[in-house]
Amino acid sequence: MTPGDGLGSAPGDDSRLRYTAKRNVEGELLYIFCMRADNRYMSLETLVTRALRAGEVHELIVSSSPGLAPGADVPDVAYVGFFEVDRAGIAEVGDEVFVGDRLLGRLAGFDLTHMPNHMNIVVASAEAATGAELGLEVGTRVRLCTPAGGQAPPGGIHVKLSRQG
């Protein structure tokens, strides 16, 4: 996967999608952080999608570190909060992440350090702020959705894979 290939490109690289339609993942905050960490160096998985099931609890984390993409390290983070999924769906790198009506940023990747307890969902943002700094409250709605202007390329995507072995 490389930027611009439409297969999990880094947030903001282009507007090509790997799908023609998907429903939003939705939930609500149940825990608000007032914490940040410098030199955290969280490692994002190379995975570009994760299924989020209803009833699961996951952590939202924001970073303004440059170069955030699957496989990257995330040096500095601000913790937003934990949310419970109440509408299952597929979260994909590049999705827009909203809390209430506020756009937090674009989904940069997933850190599985705490699985199976919860997944860290890392959001790339111009400014990293904690949930408390954002004035969030328990019950605030969370939404992960197709980025504005995103579209599937004409004719779809054809990937040629080479067999190892």
Give the DSSP H or E segment for 111. Answer: strand 102-111
Instruction: Write phi, then psi, for 25 (nearest 5 degrees).
Output: -90, 135
**Token output for 44:** 């994002």
The candidate with the shortest Cα–Cα distance to 142, out of 62, 41, 34, 45, is: 62
Please tell me the predicted confidence (pLDDT) of residue 165: 62
Which whole number is the average pLDDT over 2-13? 40
The tens digit of pLDDT for each residue in 93-123 reads 999 999 999 999 999 999 999 989 999 999 9
How would residue 21 be classed by pLDDT, with cut points 50, 70 and 90?
A: confident
Q: What is the DSSP letter of 22?
A: -
How would residue 154 be classed by pLDDT, with cut points 50, 70 and 90?
A: confident
Domain range list for the chain: 25-145
List residues bridging with 116 in a β-sheet. Answer: none
Please tell me the predicted confidence (pLDDT) of residue 8: 42
| pLDDT surpassing 80 at residue 155 | no
How would residue 5 be classed by pLDDT, with cut points 50, 70 and 90?
A: very low
Compute the mean pLDDT over every residue in the chain, rounded to the nearest whole number. 87
| pLDDT surpassing 70 at residue 3 | no
The tens digit of pLDDT for each residue in 60-82 reads 999 999 999 999 999 999 999 99
Q: What is the DSSP letter of 164?
A: P
End-to-end CA distance of the chain: 20
Please tell me the predicted confidence (pLDDT) of residue 15: 53
